[in-house]
């Protein structure tokens, strides 16, 4: 049976360190968020953007992709709330999330990660440098109840979800030979000058 995937770009952060909404900064002439969309589009049965109320009008000017706000109960509660919101909106089996600030992400990486889907697991998560990349990952919709339980308890950390879910971890080296795809742009200096200002990998 075909497994359906909802592709989700998470764009609800305040971009405080960047100083302006990162989703609309340009990389090679296109807004950051469109690179995440391009990585997800070939493998997703439906696409969503989860954003902040202050950004929703600009997203709607720039794209026809449905733009969602977190369900009111969990509004402002971070990525877990965004994932839960899409699980409430969509009937897809899996939610594939990407952040809006990883303009070097590529379609091939998303395709390879999708190939690791296994229904005996609740989440498929890359391990990059030995650390999970929970915002570049797939989550089964059965996790919606656990996410709600965590949020109701005031727990917003993605790590808390991974601790309680059945996670299939995938070595990032199996997904991409290029380290750049895992870079997210946090500051104006990183944006303007690239590698020179990126933190060193440990």
- Inter-helix orientation angle 144-152/79-89, to 10°: 140
Q: Check: CB of residue 181 under 8 Å from CB of residue 105.
A: yes
As annotated, the binding site for Mg(2+) includes: 101
Strand partners, 123: 139, 167
Q: Check: CB of residue 63 under 8 Å from CB of residue 30.
A: no
Strands (E), 41-179: 46-51, 67-69, 94-99, 123-128, 131-132, 137-140, 167-171
SS3 readout for 104-157:
CCCHHHHHHHHCCCCCCCCEEEEEECCEECCCCEEEEHHHHHHHHHHHHCCCCC
As annotated, the binding site includes: 10-12, 22, 70, 101
Nearest-angstrom CA–CA distance, 162 and 24: 30
As annotated, the binding site for GTP includes: 10-12, 22, 70, 101
């Amino acid at each position: 049976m075909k497994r359906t995937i909802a592709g989700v770009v998470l764009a609800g952060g305040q971009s405080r360190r960047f100083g302006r909404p990162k989703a609309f900064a340009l990389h090679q002439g296109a807004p950051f968020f469109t690179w995440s969309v391009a990585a997800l589009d070939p493998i997703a049965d439906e696409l969503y953007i989860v954003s902040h109320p202050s950004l929703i009008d600009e997203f709607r000017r720039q794209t026809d992709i449905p733009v969602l706000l977190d369900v009111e109960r969990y509004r402002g509660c971070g990525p877990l709330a965004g994932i839960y919101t899409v699980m409430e909106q969509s009937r897809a089996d899996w939610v594939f999330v990407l952040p809006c600030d990883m303009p070097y992400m590529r379609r091939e990486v998303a395709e390879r990660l999708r190939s690791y889907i296994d229904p005996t697991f609740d989440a498929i998560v890359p391990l990059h440098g030995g650390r999970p990349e929970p915002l570049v990952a797939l989550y089964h919709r059965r996790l919606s109840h656990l996410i709600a339980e965590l949020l109701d308890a005031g727990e917003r950390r993605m790590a808390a979800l991974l601790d309680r879910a059945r996670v299939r971890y995938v070595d990032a080296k199996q997904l991409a030979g290029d380290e750049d795809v895992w870079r997210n742009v946090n500051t104006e200096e990183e944006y303007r000058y690239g590698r020179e200002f990126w933190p060193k990998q440990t």
